[in-house]
Amino acid sequence: MELNRQPPPTRRFSTGERENAIDRTVPVLPPALEFDEHNYFDHNAPPEYLDGMTKQVQKFLDFHKHNRVVLVTSGGTTVPLENQTVRFIDNFSAGTRGATSAEYFLEQGYAVLFLHRQFSLLPYSRHYSHSTHCFLDYMDERDGSVVVDPKYQEEMLSVLRKYQAARTKNLLLLLPFTTINQYLHTLRAISVIMQPLESRALFYLAAAVSDFFIPPSRIPEHKIQSKGGGNKLVMDLDPVPKFLNRLVEKWAPSAMIISFKLETDPTILIFKAEQALERYSHQLVIGNLLQTRKTEVVFVGPGQNHDWLRLSDEQQADGIEIECMIIPAVVKLHSQWINRR
Ligand code: PMT
């Protein structure tokens, strides 16, 4: 037998460079100031649809001017790598937290502005989309007509009634975004329109917002070519300004503001939530871990106050959702906020 004596092909994949793959020397970004706001919004054009969307929001708020209104943000933002976008960076968020929470807010009588990632989960329809069953699995054929399979009738009727009630009473407005830039422009525009609601406005920021993006000055116009740039694609991203500070101080100074903090390392969750609260001076951070986010969360409030909300094993087996504990607790805090003002 003859041995293959040819030299090995040139190595085409990097190995053993995990430490250097991402530059972690970037310092912690301070909260955004007025200058950062102008700098960002002057150089990143608003989405074309923004004027139309703000008119819709204004009409909705005119209708609900005496009610409590919550802005729920939901799903992940994308970071385009090209102006005519073929590729983008995304994250895991399916919008479960936001869509589920919106339903419980509606149950508590709130009008809901649902600022969500397009095609992520929506209140009510979430029960039958993105699930392990195709929606056709809920259907059956009877006498040549399509009907709901009897075993799903009761549950679907209850969801349908709630959905129709929300629609008939004009309690839910769906506002989609895709990119980080669309999200930021829309958040700012809506929060300013919500100002007349004063303390009756609640911000429930459950979206998983990108931390880095490519500014317009550096983004390539066309699809990045795989040939011609060497073997690697090296990206140079700028940090997204931390606008939570602007929201609290300028865009919605009388509203109650709740942000979420997601971590994967349990040992730093509380610390990071406290740090966010201290840095942005808002009212509450709800901490959650990627692994357990559907069964437990921690409320981190001023004065090193931590309250864990957890589903018991029995509740989990019964399909109870953690949002049915989160939202009543949030509503109680919002009532206190309103009464103190
Ligand atoms: O959608 P699911 O699959 O159900 O997952 C839900 C969730 C885990 C995404 C959600 O519960 C959650 O934790 N969301 C926040 C994720 C996070 O840690 O975000 P952050 O640290 O990047 O931002 C903190 C807060 O500021 C968030 O509320 C965010 O919406 C807001 N933010 C962040 C950056 C920025 N430029 N503007 C913002 O408004």
In a domain, 11, yes or no: no
Is the beta carbon of 96 within 6 A of some atom in ligand 1? yes
In a domain, 290, yes or no: no
In a domain, 339, yes or no: no
Range of the domain at 76: 28-129+152-226+234-273
DSSP 66: T
What is the rounded CA–CA span in Å between residue 252 and residue 70?
12
Between the CA of 133 and the centroid of ligand 1 the distance, in Å, is: 28
Taking residues 147-175, what's their average pLDDT?
Answer: 97
Alpha helices by DSSP H, 76-207? 96-107, 150-168, 180-193
In a domain, 91, yes or no: yes
What is the rounded CA–CA span in Å between residue 161 and residue 158?
5
Is the beta carbon of 202 within 6 A of some atom in ligand 1? no
- Which strand (E) or helix (H) includes residue 275? helix 269-280
Taking residues 204-231, what's their average pLDDT?
Answer: 91
Contact present, 244 and 259 (Cβ < 8 Å): yes
In a domain, 187, yes or no: yes
In a domain, 7, yes or no: no
Q: What are phi and psi of 70, to 5 degrees?
A: -115, 135
pLDDT above 80 for 228: no
pLDDT above 60 for 1: no
**Structural domains counted in the chain:** 1
Ligand 1 atom at shortest distance from the alpha carbon of 287: 13
Per-residue pLDDT of 283-316, as tens digits, reads 999 999 999 999 999 999 998 889 999 999 999 9
The one-letter code for the residue type at 140 is D
Name the pTM for this structure: 0.94
Structure tokens at 40: 């960002």
Roughly what angle, to the nearest 10 degrees, separates helices 180-193 and 50-63?
A: 40
Per-residue pLDDT of 42-82, as tens digits, reads 999 999 999 999 999 999 999 999 999 999 999 999 999 99
**pLDDT confidence bin for 226, thresholds 50/70/90:** confident
Q: Which of 174, 72, 82 is nearest to 119 (CA)?
A: 174
**pLDDT confidence bin for 232, thresholds 50/70/90:** confident
In a domain, 174, yes or no: yes
Between the CA of 143 and the centroid of ligand 1 the distance, in Å, is: 48
Contact present, 147 and 141 (Cβ < 8 Å): yes
CATH number of the domain bearing residue 253? 3.40.50.10300
pLDDT, residue 2, reads 41
**pLDDT confidence bin for 12, thresholds 50/70/90:** low
Q: Which residue among 97, 260, 282 is best mutated to probe the pocket of ligand 1, counting the most ligand atoms within 8 A of its Cβ?
A: 260
Between residues 226 and 182, the one the model is more confident about:
182
**pLDDT confidence bin for 3, thresholds 50/70/90:** very low
pLDDT above 70 for 216: yes
* Backbone φ/ψ region at 277: left (φ over 0), alpha (ψ -120 to 50), beta: alpha
The number of CA neighbours under 13 Å toward the Cβ of 212 is: 12
Buried b (16+ CB within 10 A) or exposed e, 289-327: beeebebbbbbbbeeeeeeeeebeeeeeeeeebbbebbb
Is the beta carbon of 115 within 6 A of some atom in ligand 1? no
In a domain, 284, yes or no: no
Taking residues 160-167, what's their average pLDDT?
Answer: 98
Contact present, 300 and 284 (Cβ < 8 Å): yes
Between the CA of 262 and the centroid of ligand 1 the distance, in Å, is: 7
Taking residues 141-167, what's their average pLDDT?
Answer: 97
Name the residue with the closest Cα to ligand 1, atom 9. Answer: 208
Q: Which of 341, 60, 330 is nearest to 199 (CA)?
A: 341
Between residues 10 and 67, the one the model is more confident about:
67
Work out the percent of the chain whose per-residue pLDDT is above 70: 91
